[in-house]
Amino acid sequence: MMQLQGVIDSAVKEVGKVLLGKEPQIRLALCCLVARGHLLIEDLPGMGKTTLSHALAAVLGLSWKRVQFTSDLLPADILGISVYDARDASFSFHPGPIFTQLLLADEINRTTPRTQSALLEAMAEGQVTVEGKTRALPQPFFVIATQNPVHQSGTYPLPESQLDRFLMRLELGYPHPRAEREMFERRHSAIREIDNLQQCINAQQLEAIRVAVSKVQASDSLLDYLQRLVACTRQSPEFEVGLSPRGALALLDCARTWAAMHNRGHVVPEDVQMVLPAVASHRLVPGGEYAGDGMALVDLLLRNVDVIGS
Amino acid sequence: MKLQQQVPRNALVWIIISMFALVAPHALRLPPWVLLVYVVAVIWRILVYRGRWSFPGRSVKLILIFSSFIGVYVSYGTLVGLEPMVALLLTAFAFKLIELSRRNDAYVLLFLGYFVCITEFLFSQDLLITLYSMLNVVLVTTALVALHQPGEHQFNRGSIRLAGVMLAQALPLMVVIFFLFPRIDPLWTVPVNNHMAKTGMSDFMKPGDVAKLSQSADVALRVKFDGDIPPVSALYWRGLVFSRMQQGAWSALDYYDVPVKQQRPREMRTSGDALEYTVIMEPSWQNWLYGLHYARATTPGVRHTADYRLSTLSPLETEYMYRVRSWTQAQAEPGLSQWRREIETRLPPGSNPRTRQLAQEMKALTETDQQFIDAVLNKFSTQDYVYTLQPGSLSELHAMDEFLFESRRGFCEHYASAFTVMMRAAGVPARVVAGYLGGEINPVNRTVIVHQFDAHAWAEVWLQGQGWVRVDPTAAVSPERIEWGLEAAMQAEGSFLSEAPLSALRYRNIPFLNLLRLRYDALTYRWQSWIVGFNSERQLNLLRDIFGEINTRVIATVLLGSWVLVLVPVSISLFRKRATRQVSRPDRFYLKFCERLARLGLVRSAGETPGQFFLRAEAALPAYAGQMRDITSLYNQLAYAGTADGEGADASTLDTFSRAVKRFRPSR
Q: Taking 90 as the threshold, does the pLDDT of residue B113 lie above it?
A: yes
Cβ separation B641–A265 shorter than 8 A? yes
A266 to B640: CB separation less than 8 angstroms, yes or no: yes
Q: Residue B326's beta-bridge partner residues? A: B275, B295
Q: Do A220 and B646 touch (CB under 8 A)?
A: yes
CB A157 within 8 Å of CB A109: yes
Helical pair A269-280 and A294-304, crossing angle rounded to 10 deg:
160
pLDDT confidence of residue B187: 60
The answer for residues whose C-beta is within 8 angstroms of residue B557's C-beta and 6 or more apart is: none
Nearest to B150 among A217, A237, A301 (CB): A237
Average of pLDDT values for B176-192? 67
Helix axes B552-579, B158-180, angle to 10 degrees: 160
Give me the residue from A218, A269, A308 closest to B590, CB to CB.
Answer: A308
Q: Which residue in B581, B607, B644 is closest to A309 by CB distance? A: B581
Does residue B324 sit in helix, strand or coil? strand
User: What's the pLDDT at B91?
Assistant: 92
Mean pLDDT across chain B: 82
Q: Of B401, B472, B521, B594, which residue is the catalytic one?
A: B472
Pairing of strands B467-471, B455-463: antiparallel
Give me the mean pLDDT over the B393-398 stretch.
Answer: 76
Contact state of B644 with A306 under an 8 Å Cβ cutoff: no
The residue-averaged pLDDT of B229-254 equals 86
Identify the bridge partners of residue B662 per DSSP, sorted by sequence position: none
At B197 the pLDDT is 47
Query: In terms of residues, how long is chain B?
Result: 668
Q: Do B644 and A219 lie within an 8 Å CB cutoff?
A: yes
Predicted confidence at residue B38, as pLDDT, reads: 92
The answer to whether A222 contacts B608, with C-beta atoms less than 8 Å apart, is no
Element (H, E) at A164: none
Identify the pLDDT of residue B583: 57
pLDDT, average across residues B396-425? 86
**pLDDT on residue B151:** 60
Residue B441 pLDDT greater than 60, yes or no: yes
Residue whose C-alpha is closest to residue A142's, from A217, A211, A57: A57
Q: Domains of chain A (ranges plus CATH)?
A: 2-197 (3.40.50.300), 214-304 (1.10.8.80)
> Rounded distance, CA A290 to CA A238, Å?
7
**Identity of the residue in A219, A267, A304 whose CB atom sits nearest the CB atom of B607:** A304
- pLDDT by residue for chain A (310 residues), tens digit each? 446 778 888 888 888 888 888 888 888 988 888 888 888 888 887 788 888 888 888 888 888 888 888 888 888 888 888 888 888 888 888 888 888 888 888 888 888 888 888 887 788 888 888 878 888 888 788 888 888 776 667 778 887 778 888 888 888 888 888 888 887 877 766 556 677 778 888 778 888 888 888 888 888 888 888 898 888 888 877 777 788 888 899 999 999 999 888 888 888 888 888 888 888 888 887 766 655 566 777 888 888 788 887 6
Question: With 90 as the cut, is the pLDDT of residue B136 above it?
Answer: yes
Query: What percent of the residues of chain B are helix, what percent strand, and what percent coil, each to the nearest 5?
Result: 55, 10, 35
Catalytic status, residue B401: no
Q: What is the pLDDT of residue B22?
A: 92
Residue, of A257 and B272, whose pLDDT is higher: A257
pLDDT top residue among B60 and B397? B60
Average pLDDT over residues B214-232: 85
Confidence of residue B644 (pLDDT cuts 50, 70, 90): very low
B439 in the Ramachandran plot: left (φ > 0), alpha (ψ -120 to 50) or beta?
Answer: left
How far off is chain B from A103, nearest CA to CA, in Å?
36
Q: Which pLDDT band, with edges at 50, 70 and 90, does B139 fall under?
A: very high
pLDDT tens profile B574-605: 777 665 555 567 788 888 888 888 888 888 88
Q: Is the pLDDT of residue B21 over 90?
A: yes
pLDDT at position B157 over 80: no
Mean pLDDT for B231-255 is: 85
Instruction: Flag if A219 and B583 touch (Cβ within 8 Å).
Output: no
Contact B636 A237 (CB under 8 A): no
Burial category of B397 from C-beta neighbours within 10 Å (exposed 0-12, middle 13-18, buried 19 and up): middle
Distance CA B465, CA B370 (A): 12
Q: Is B293 a catalytic residue?
A: no
Of B594, B606, B639, the CB nearest to A219: B639
Q: Where are the domains of chain B?
A: 3-168, 204-347+428-511, 536-579, 585-663
Whole-model pTM: value is: 0.52
Q: How far is CA A24 from CA A28, A44, A49, B263, in A?
A: 6, 18, 14, 103
Rg (chain A; Cα; Å): 20
CB atoms within 10 A of CB B638: 25
Q: How many whole angstroms separate alpha carbon B392 and alpha carbon A297? A: 85
Question: Looking at B412, B414, B451, B521, which residue is catalytic?
Answer: B412
Q: How many residues does chain A have?
A: 310
| B56-72 mean pLDDT | 90
* Residue B591 with chain A: CB contacts under 8 Å: 308, 310
* A266 to A280, B591, B638, B648: CA distances (angstroms): 21, 22, 11, 12
pLDDT at B645: 43
| Residue B631 CB contacts under 8 Å (≥ 6 apart), including other chains | B590, B593, B657, B660, B661, B664
Disruptive mutation site among B609, B612, B632, B638 for chain A (greatest number of A CBs within 10 Å) = B609
Bridge partner list, A94: A81
Question: In this predicted structure, what is the pLDDT of residue B137?
Answer: 93
DSSP string, A20-68: TT-HHHHHHHHHHHHTT-EEEEE--TTSSHHHHHHHHHHHHT--EEEEE
Strand ranges of the sheet holding B275-281, from the earlier edge strand across to the other edge: B295-297, B320-326, B275-281, B219-225, B447-451, B440-442
Chain A's closest residue to B643, CA to CA, is A219
Concatenated DSSP letters of B433-484: EEEEE--EEETTTTEEEEEGGGEEEEEEEEETTTEEEEE-HHHHH-HHHHHH
Element (H, E) at A254: helix A245-261
Determine, for residues A267 and B640 on separate chains, whether the beta-carbon distance falls below 8 Å.
Answer: yes
Most B CBs within 10 Å, among A220, A227, A304, to test the B interface: A220
B472 counts as catalytic? yes
Chain B's closest residue to A235, CA to CA, is B151
Q: Looking at this predicted complex, what is its ipTM?
A: 0.82
The whole-number pLDDT of residue B650 equals 67
Residues of A in Cβ contact (< 8 Å) with B583? 309-310
User: Which of B614, B631, B640, B653 is best to mutate for the A interface (most A CBs within 10 A)?
Assistant: B640
Give the Cα separation of B462 and B235 in Å (integer): 20
- B20: confidence class by pLDDT, cuts 50, 70, 90: very high
Cβ-defined contact of A273 to B607 (cutoff 8 Å): yes
CA dist., res. B239 & res. B436, Å (int): 8
Calculate what percentage of chain B has a pLDDT beyond 90: 14
